[in-house]
Structure 1
Amino acid sequence: MSDQLRPRSNSSRNLKTVARHGRLKKSNAAVTVAKFLAGSLAVVLVSGFSVAAIATYDVAVSVQPSVHLANESNGPVPSIGAIDGGVNMLIVGSDSRVGQDAAFGPEDSTGDLNDVTMLLHISEDHSNASVISFPRDLYVPIPSCPDPEGGSFSAMSSQKINTTLSYGGLACTVLTVEKLTGLSIPFAAEAQFSGVMAMSSAVGGVPVCVAERIEDEYTGTMLDPGEHVLEGYDALQFLRTRHGLGDGSDLTRINNQQLFMSSLVRTIQSADTLSDPAKVYGLAKAVTGNMRLSDSLNSVTTLASIAIALKDIDLNQVVFAQVPTGNVAGGVKASQPAFDDLFEAVAADEPLTLSGTTGTGTVADPNAPVEAAPAPAATTDPSVAADPAVTEAPVATEAPGAVLSKSVTGQTAGDYTCTDGRLLSEQG
């Protein structure tokens, strides 16, 4: 998101060291609440994969008071299961100040740019998922897009991807990414600053690790090495910062956002949030009113079914990746053939395996928890244990799926990383 704003200073807690880690008939009101809680579940699960904080609309507010008719019967609460097949959903974060807190500046201080553009892909068998980020300065061809006020806009051969939201709205961003990747994307959502702030606060803060001090005057982010639990405004500014980390580019900012998203997923999982209806409800309420959903997503049932498809995926099977790019004047362009290879693997529904680094914005966390090695299988035959020449046959392992080019940076939700900050003295 744009960093033109110089906000108030960061006030998060700084640590000097890294710490680890009889049956009644249901009424219409009961049905409404049940539907809302299903939608709330979708908020929590899907938002874990989106810095833009995917949210359902507030059903409890949108449903008007009902009148029960004499011949009307109350049906059962609908049963919701995982969505059939795979999912492609585009998630964009807008830098628009319209309707946002005054701390972000006047409503007319910016346009409406999609400074965060991410594709969520869930595999057909719901065994893995990926979140693929597109840099805001990526030059792309923009197809002809419908004008929200009628008619259509002409196609353009090369413009930055973050202009698509202001050019033709969310529908234009989707059309552009479809043309760029060759994928069909039936679902889309747009979030603004306040949604990100609310989600981080609703979970009680998100822990982030800083390896080297971050100093960014543009976002007011000043963080010493160690672990910091960020929420609300501070969390948002951490996500927006770029001058104070890595090489100061938008590419390193994406690395930092992936670190935050991974931690958010782990936070939600470790806190048993999903088993606490009050927390689920609170998370849903926290992000209410901060989303624009495509018609295909404007349904509690659809949101919940997508969420259910995500909830059992192992953290190590959730891959955050940044599309491979090369520098050009004023921005970046897709790096071939690695770019096309990435989306061919997604189209083929192959699990993605990273072979590159986390990127220049983050480094591996030296204090990451280490999983204990599984204990050897017990045997009742003493001769096997006594004979050192007898060894177990190697266990066959599944193919890793599509091994991506080293130019594709990223991490899994199970990877612990730290921000590689930089000082003001290192910034040109």
Structure 2
Amino acid sequence: MSESPRTSRRVTTDPTVARHARRRGRNPFTALLKVVSATLAVVLVSGTAVAAYALWDVAASVKPAVTLAGQDGSSPNIDAIEGGVNLLLVGSDSRQGQGDAYGDPDVETGNLNDVTMLLHISEDHSSATVVSFPRDMFVPIPACPKEDGSGTYNAMSSQKINTTLSYGGLACTVLTVEALTGLKIPFAAEVQFNGVIALSNAVGGVDVCVAEPIADPYTGTYLDAGTHTLQGSAALQFLRTRHGVGDGSDLGRISNQQVFLSSLVRTLQSSETLSDPTKLFGIAKAAASNMRLSVSLQNFNTMVSIAMAMKDIPLEQIAFVQYPNAYGSSGGQQGVLPLSAAAEQLFDAIKADKKISLTGTTGVGSVADPNAPGATETSAPPETTDPSDPASTPATTPPATADGGDAVELPSTIEGQTAGDYTCSKGNS
């Protein structure tokens, strides 16, 4: 029997240590960049976020001093983006350009989107939904333009969704998800392993609860039961692990990732990061430096405005759900098949900007946290749950919205949780 989180210890994992670059000869341009960087540091401390962005933009350009004059106090304020948002985040498993920390880059040169998440923010900014698409789900892939502009790939009736990145890059993944959901997606970003490390460092780490020990030699993830503050490479490996959680499947990994993401949202709201343009510009800089962005996201102001749209959404109205699916096969390949009827209910609600109510479980990779705020002594501890019984890991989301309004009740085949649900990773050691 594993140790309960109630008596566990907190472990803080240090971020990745940066290596010092080789010293180079001094030149006037380098000296100018140092002056601009020093000025930026002062501006960040003073809280003038818009000017900070202007200075960073200048420092990154060929002529950093040209537009400095008159910038302080003259730029417009940054506020939440107007209207709704659909943004696709893709996580690539490519080792190219990532060093040898994640395997031999010359051998493991695949470029699969093993993580595909769609963020929808309602037009009135009262709710948000993040949909995770299982990497092994068979979907139709439309005719995608080749990245080199030499033509298009043929459409395919049934392929795993994680092959879209290798077919036609980020644009192909967006086209596939648009066809699958019926939504228009104007914003998209692709992140690799090093980018996840940089972003987790930018937010200062995330607390995650582990109900049962995690031991995964494939990713090097070893965590005792308890609460751990993860950032840097430790956060990356936690998000990558699937052998160490639930039933060892990608579906278990998704629910494990939702434990992290829910805690991340709570952390950002409690620290008022989502209300602070200065902090958000720091995160946006980490994103811009480590991610491939759609043209629509290359503007810092846009990234910050999208993040600020989340600041006033109640935690109970930020839902993380898994695209409904069932195990099956296609063309002799094993994977998962989409449950079209349940998916239609989900995306009809999203298109109509309706709040949603979850009735399914949190998934095989997580369990309810018995030490969550408001939990009673009668709450079942994590070790008493039966992973073979989906009813043993119920979502704690109430059937009504936080403001008492009507919500679309989703079928139980749609698993997930809200940012207001406190859950723990279910280890599979």
Q: Tell me which of 336, 350, 355 is aligned to 2:354.
A: 350
Conservation of the 8 A alpha-carbon contact between 1:40 and 1:280:
no
Deviation for aligned residue 1:299: 1.3
Counterpart position of 1:293: 293
Q: Distance in 2 between matches of 1:60 and 1:128?
A: 36
Conservation of the 8 A alpha-carbon contact between 2:275 and 2:311:
no
Q: Which amino acid aligns with 1:111?
A: G
- Scaled by the length of structure 2, the TM-score of the pair is 0.77
Q: Distance in 1 between matches of 2:281 and 2:79?
A: 19
Q: Distance in 1 between matches of 2:218 and 2:97?
A: 22
Q: Tell me which of 73, 89, 102 is aligned to 1:91.
A: 89
Distance 1:348 1:196, change over 3 A: same
Distance 1:94 1:60, change over 3 A: farther
Correspondences of 1:139-178 after superposition (within 5 Å):
139-150=138-149, 151-178=151-178
Q: Distance in 2 between matches of 1:176 and 1:68?
A: 43
Matched residue of 1:121: which SS?
A: strand
- The runs of at least 4 aligned residues of structure 1 exceeding 6 Å deviation read 33-36, 275-278
Larger RCO: 1 or 2 (CA < 8 Å, sep 6+): 1
Matched residue of 2:109: which SS?
A: coil
- Choose 97-106 or 137-146, whichever is displaced more: 97-106
Q: Tell me which of 374, 399, 414 is aligned to 2:420.
A: 414
Conservation of the 8 A alpha-carbon contact between 1:192 and 1:291:
yes
Correspondences of 1:393-412 after superposition (within 5 Å):
398-412=404-418
Q: Distance in 2 between matches of 1:40 and 1:283?
A: 13
Q: Deviations over 1:299-350 (max 9, x none)?
A: 1222222222122111111000001101112100111310111111111111
Q: Distance in 2 between matches of 1:179 and 1:398?
A: 34
Matched residue of 2:340: which SS?
A: coil
Identity %: 59
Deviation for aligned residue 1:400: 3.4
Deviation for aligned residue 1:267: 1.9
Q: Distance in 2 between matches of 1:284 and 1:201?
A: 12
Q: Tell me which of 314, 335, 342 is aligned to 2:339.
A: 335
- Scaled by the length of structure 1, the TM-score of the pair is 0.77
Q: Distance in 2 between matches of 1:160 and 1:130?
A: 23
Distance 1:271 1:17, change over 3 A: farther
- Choose 74-83 or 185-194, whichever is displaced more: 74-83
Residue 118 (structure 1) aligned with residue 117 (structure 2): yes
Matched residue of 2:347: which SS?
A: helix
Counterpart position of 1:51: none
Q: Distance in 2 between matches of 1:120 and 1:39?
A: 29
Q: Which amino acid aligns with 1:219?
A: T
Deviation for aligned residue 1:269: 2.5
Conservation of the 8 A alpha-carbon contact between 1:39 and 1:304:
no
RMSD: 3.1
Counterpart position of 2:76: 78
Correspondences of 1:246-265 after superposition (within 5 Å):
246-265=246-265
Deviation for aligned residue 1:133: 0.3
Distance 1:40 1:400, change over 3 A: farther
Larger radius of gyration between Structure 1 and Structure 2:
1
Correspondences of 1:2-401 after superposition (within 5 Å):
17-18=7-8, 37-38=49-50, 59-66=57-64, 76-108=74-106, 109-150=108-149, 151-273=151-273, 280=280, 282-329=282-329, 330-370=334-374, 398-401=404-407
Count of aligned residue pairs for this structure pair: 362
Deviation for aligned residue 1:244: 1.5
Conservation of the 8 A alpha-carbon contact between 1:16 and 1:224:
no
Q: Distance in 2 between matches of 1:40 and 1:331?
A: 47
Matched residue of 2:126: which SS?
A: coil
